[in-house]
Structure 1
């Protein structure tokens, strides 16, 4: 039996919406024949592309054999055949559209941050609960090969007692004058929902919570290293949002996580994101796809001596964690989980309340930076 699921996909003309959610997730699922359920049934997504740019929508629909597209969100929400609303718009537009979708009785799946403030994010979670609609938030990094390997190590007890985590994220985003910027200009304007903290702390919250332990406190310093940039039209503008954040998080169990995030750093590491985990029994360093380990029995015994050449090649003393499975696109994996949750009621813990936790940490991170102090992270409920 085939379960056809109508999905209103709003905001798919943006880079993330086009590449990760449309092409590598929904189109890929359609091309593979849908999502198979344990009982032999199949879930087949039937998207309608929604946005403000008619030309882009038409081009995407034609390129990927999608029959339906529209510039009228209200009309789409009125169609009872489309039971899911997906949102990949810029953050400042997201909450209002999700509220409309909940009011129309749609199940919700959306990008994060879910809103620009904790109050709005919690309101979305509460409205969805009261309406009885299923809901989920994209938490893609949990399904990256490197982090899945880390999870495998944690579950096996490889680390012993985890002591600390060090995360390095970022790369040099060109200012837009002599080379075109790799990120849209709204990312660097606070009034448009931009900023490193608001963008990335939502990710760090679910990564830390799901892999290592709940975040209990934060100490953060956010700054704007590049004060002026050039936008897509060649016009110089003032950067009103932070482009870097340097944070320390205290996790349950006394684990300490140090996280540096910057769009003004040149990369001298294995990947754009690296996560080092140190434990009593072993350590690991994970990137987006790869993961290396060093067990206590393989740990070298260096002695500090600046008067001689370093006798160790430290990078060669780590072993690769094998794949041992086929890793699919992280966004596609979570889409399939959500569709199974929708049709077969399989578990899906990454709901709008989990999304609100990301916004909570962003707000507290900015508060910590402004007040130059540690701030506790209270439990969230609705």
Structure 2
């Protein structure tokens, strides 16, 4: 058994998502488990170099987690041939230019989404990567959530019969920052900094819908800024220039209707922060982040609306849990392991920069639909 180290430039990991999901729960977890085993029995071990613009932050992060390599010099990291992969989890407005720089340096690319601030910018990255011959991938973490994996199991088994509709509810109350600190960074609510829930979440909804139910054909979207003013990390008031809620309808191939509500100004009265209900001719299911429950056609109750009597049904008790039947690892870590195998042994990895561009396209069209107050078609993307 041979051990192969692989240098990974991790840019932007001092932020919440980069630190928690990509560094601690993915790369360091892979390191702690002894690497990723390949098909031939060899092991690939990630060796990260942390890159950040503020020396004190990146140094402290590296020291806290026993990461030997860190720097504020991205150019030097890109010039080092030991570093094979460039990963980016910076804010959206910084991502595209850094990825272009990494492609020019011949690095394989793995990045968060959105990959750029416009579909044109995202397609440019995909074209540049193809022309340079570098492998590339985009984080599509929701596909690896236990609840959605169970939902995919039901779809693939034909449980639903003909799928009729999908209803998605996502969100929670993000505190405004006055009497309680907000749990999301302030840039999320400034359009000029790449913020907005449409830009953030529609990239997720695109790959979830495409991979589970069918290709998105058209959409209608209403965006809203419910909270006009918030308090930033320094305690200063600022005007919210980006949307904090979006109410959308998607039409998929096969005439599947999807209603998707996304909000950072909603209080949760459901099983999870994200719930997806799928209704079909033969059965229905409701999935959250980890759990999934079903109701088959033969077990469906027959309620009759009558306001003059107490409801005789306990609807929540009439569903059955889908069992785990497997161990579920962190979704970000699972996709990192797949990408490392893709780089080292050319294993399949379909979630490339072109797939990432589809997410940016959906966000762009959602904003267009909101501005023009109409349905818009979703054309196929190609390089």
Q: Above 0.5 in TM-score?
A: yes
Q: How does 1:1-382 map to 2 (within 5 A)?
A: 1-382=2-383
Residues of 1 paired with 2:99 and 2:55: CA distance?
21
CA RMSD of aligned residues (A): 0.6
What are the superposed Cα offsets for residues 227-270 of structure 1, whole Å, 9 maximum, x if unpaired?
Answer: 11111111111000000000000000100100000000000000
SS at match of 1:56: helix
Structure-2 separation of matches of 1:40 and 1:178:
55
- Cα distance in 2, alignment partners of residues 53 and 28 from structure 1: 25
Taking the aligned partners of 1:38 and 1:95, their CA distance within structure 2 comes to 33
Q: CA deviation at 1:173?
A: 0.5
Looking at structure 2, the residues matched to 3 and 365 of structure 1 have their Cα atoms a distance apart, in angstroms, of 44
Shift of 1:114: 0.2
- CA-CA distance at 1:338 after TM superposition: 0.2
- What is the distance in 1 between the residues matched to 2:206 and 2:189? 21
Distance 1:141 1:109 in 2: 16
- CA deviations over 1:244-297 (Å, ceiling 9, x no partner): 000000000100100000000000000000000001111000000000000001
Question: Please, which runs of 5 or more residues in structure 2 have no aligned partner?
Answer: none
SS, match of residue 95 in structure 1: helix
**Aligned partners of 2:259 and 2:334: how far apart in 1?**
28
Once the 2 structures are TM-superposed, how far is the Cα of residue 351 of structure 1 from its aligned partner? 0.2
1:92-151 Cα shifts (integer Å, max 9, x gaps): 000000000000000000000000011110000000000000000000000000000001
Moved over 4 A (4+): none
The CA distance in 2 between the partners of 1:84 and 1:225, in whole Å, is: 40
Distance 2:60 2:342 in 1: 31
Q: Deviations over 1:23-55 (max 9, x none)?
A: 000000000000011210111101000001212
Instruction: Name the SS of the counterpart of 2:77 in structure 1.
Output: helix
Distance in 2 (CA, whole Å) between partners of 1:184 and 1:44 is 32
Q: What are the superposed Cα offsets for residues 158-206 of structure 1, whole Å, 9 maximum, x if unpaired?
A: 1111110000000000111111101000000000000010000000000
- How many residue pairs align between the two structures? 382
Q: Quick one: distance in 1 between partners of 2:168 and 2:289?
A: 12
- The Cα shift of 1:303 comes to 0.5
CA distance in 1, matches of 2:56, 2:238: 28
Distance in 1 (alpha carbons) for counterparts of 2:58 and 2:328: 30
Which whole-Å CA distance do the structure 2 matches of 1:264 and 1:159 have between them? 32
Partners of 1:132 and 1:187 lie apart in 2 by 34
TM-score, normalisation: structure 1: 0.99
Could you state the TM-score of these two structures normalised by the residue count of structure 2?
0.99
Instruction: Give the distance between the partners of 1:277 and 1:377, measured in 2 at CA.
Output: 22
